[in-house]
């Protein structure tokens, strides 16, 4: 794997001088053995687990294409389902407890979004993964916050790896809570337990934001997460109506809401309240119309934060700092097993005339 990355880097730096065909290197890498990459996430809020298991490909392979060209670049998109491993035995459980959740592979287990497409509609693309069987009875209390999860994964096509698990059980952080910024300090004066303050001060499902017409927004919404997560992801969805043709075509994650963007967000450094991480997100207004947006906030366990941050900084996916997955012999397997505790809120934009 390291050699392939080196070759890729060489091709990148010399491409300005000479155009080269990757097929020229097939003889050098014909013995390359595909490797597993596992991305597994527990979602306690939604009572769901998604485990995506893919394999790398030999340089000589030709992956099939779909009938879509979402980027309008004249080339059809590669069929990502070609890389899915569909015959693994995947279980998730709480260490030391008897309850175990067996996962089943589905071709349309979940979706991801494309953005900046030519028609300005960000389509949802389905992909295959392992999820809880719809007919299976989920043990009571299996999805909870402040608990630990572990995963066992056995893939017949990669039997030499044995059982793949996380090197340590992963902790489930509390989900973000939206609240009025000034209420936190006053609450803690009367109630020393930060968890009770969150319950007291949490706002409703819809927040109203008043901004000046035809001006940049200066509004923010505030949220708080008890310790257990230092990395969050915020996604915004714009309400376009459940009868919009795009809804039927792309089947959005939230009915009637089109995905707009998403990005990382971190706790504020200048606010220090023991037991709590506070942060905020600016409400961006890009059109002079009143809209309703839905914000999805995800609080990730530390394992996913490391997976994203260190790989983005250049460390390879098989680095032991990046991946927390190990095979039966203790060797690193590319990927991550983590928890995402989620919350949603609707933001209604109202203009001041």
Q: What is the phi/psi pair of residue 250, to 5°?
A: -110, -10
Structure tokens at 317: 């996916």
Q: State whether 160 and 47 are in the same domain.
A: yes
Note the pLDDT of residue 123: 61
Residues 6+ apart with CB under 8 A from 291: 238, 239, 348, 349
- Rounded-to-integer distance, Cα 296 and Cα 342, Å: 7
Give the pLDDT confidence of 199-244 residue by residue, as tens digits. 655 556 777 776 665 555 567 777 877 666 667 888 888 888 777 7
| Terminal Cα distance for the chain, rounded | 60
Find tokens 């997560």 and name the residue: 229
Domain of 25, in residue numbers:
1-32
Residues of 197-221 as b/e, b for ≥16 C-beta within 10 angstroms?
bbeebeeeeebebebeeeeeeebeb
Q: State whether 147 and 279 are in the same domain.
A: no
Q: State whether 82 and 138 are in the same domain.
A: yes
Is 221:281 a contact under the CB 8 Å cutoff? Answer: yes
Q: Which residues does the chain have with pLDDT short of 70?
A: 1-31, 59-61, 63-74, 76, 113-124, 135, 179-204, 210-218, 226-230, 245-252, 270-275, 286-290, 351-353
Q: State whether 289 and 184 are in the same domain.
A: yes
Strand 220-226 versus strand 177-178 pairing type: antiparallel
- Rounded-to-integer distance, Cα 89 and Cα 63, Å: 25
Q: State whether 308 and 168 are in the same domain.
A: yes
The domain total for the chain is 3
Q: State whether 167 and 209 are in the same domain.
A: no
DSSP alpha helix (H) spans, the chain: 2-14, 183-190, 194-201, 245-250, 302-312
- Angle between the N-to-C axes of helices 183-190 and 194-201, in degrees from 0 to 180, rounded to the nearest 10: 130
Q: State whether 58 and 110 are in the same domain.
A: yes
Note the pLDDT of residue 23: 58
- Rounded-to-integer distance, Cα 280 and Cα 232, Å: 11
Find tokens 């000034």 and name the residue: 182
Structure tokens at 341: 């505790």
Question: pTM, whole model, 2 decimals?
Answer: 0.77
Q: State whether 64 and 169 are in the same domain.
A: yes
CATH at residue 264: 2.60.40
Give the pLDDT confidence of 105-121 residue by residue, as tens digits. 998 888 776 655 444 45
Nearest to 297 by CA among 224, 348, 202, 203: 224
Q: State whether 111 and 135 are in the same domain.
A: yes
Q: State whether 314 and 165 are in the same domain.
A: yes
Q: What is the phi/psi pair of residue 264, to 5°?
A: -75, 155
- Rounded-to-integer distance, Cα 252 and Cα 244, Å: 11
Q: State whether 151 and 140 are in the same domain.
A: yes
Q: State whether 219 and 238 are in the same domain.
A: yes
């Amino acid at each position: 794997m390291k050699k392939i990355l080196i070759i890729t880097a060489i091709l990148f730096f010399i491409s300005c001088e000479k155009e080269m065909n990757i097929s020229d290197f097939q003889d050098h890498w014909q013995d390359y053995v595909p490797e597993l990459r596992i991305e597994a996430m527990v979602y306690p809020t939604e009572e769901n687990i998604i485990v995506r298991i893919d394999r790398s490909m030999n340089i000589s392979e030709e992956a099939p294409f779909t009938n879509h060209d979402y980027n309008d670049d004249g080339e059809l998109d590669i069929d990502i389902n070609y890389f899915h491993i569909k015959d693994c035995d995947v279980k998730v459980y709480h260490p030391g407890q008897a309850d175990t959740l067996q996962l089943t592979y589905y071709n349309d287990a979940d979706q991801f979004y494309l953005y900046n497409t030519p028609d300005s509609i960000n389509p949802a693309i389905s992909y295959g993964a392992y999820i809880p069987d719809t007919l299976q009875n989920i043990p009571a209390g299996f999805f909870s916050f402040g608990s630990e999860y572990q995963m066992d994964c056995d893939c017949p096509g990669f039997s030499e790896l044995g059982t793949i698990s996380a090197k340590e059980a992963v902790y489930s952080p509390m989900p973000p809570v939206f609240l009025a910024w000034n209420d936190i300090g006053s609450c803690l004066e009367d109630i020393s337990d930060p968890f009770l303050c969150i319950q007291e001060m949490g706002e409703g499902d819809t927040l109203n934001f008043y901004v000046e017409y035809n001006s940049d927004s200066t509004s923010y919404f505030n949220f708080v997460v008890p310790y257990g997560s230092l990395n969050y992801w915020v996604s915004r969805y714009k309400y376009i109506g459940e009868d919009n043709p795009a809804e039927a075509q792309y089947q959005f994650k939230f009915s009637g809401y089109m995905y707009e963007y998403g990005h990382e967000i971190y706790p504020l450094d200048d606010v220090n309240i023991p037991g709590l991480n506070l942060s905020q997100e600016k409400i961006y207004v890009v059109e002079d119309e009143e809209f309703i947006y839905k914000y999805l906030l995800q609080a990730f366990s530390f394992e996913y934060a490391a997976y994203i941050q260190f790989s983005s900084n250049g460390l390879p996916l098989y680095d032991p700092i990046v991946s927390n997955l190990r095979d039966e012999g203790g060797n690193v397997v590319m990927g991550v097993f983590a928890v995402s505790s989620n919350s949603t809120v609707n933001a209604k934009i109202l203009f001041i005339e």
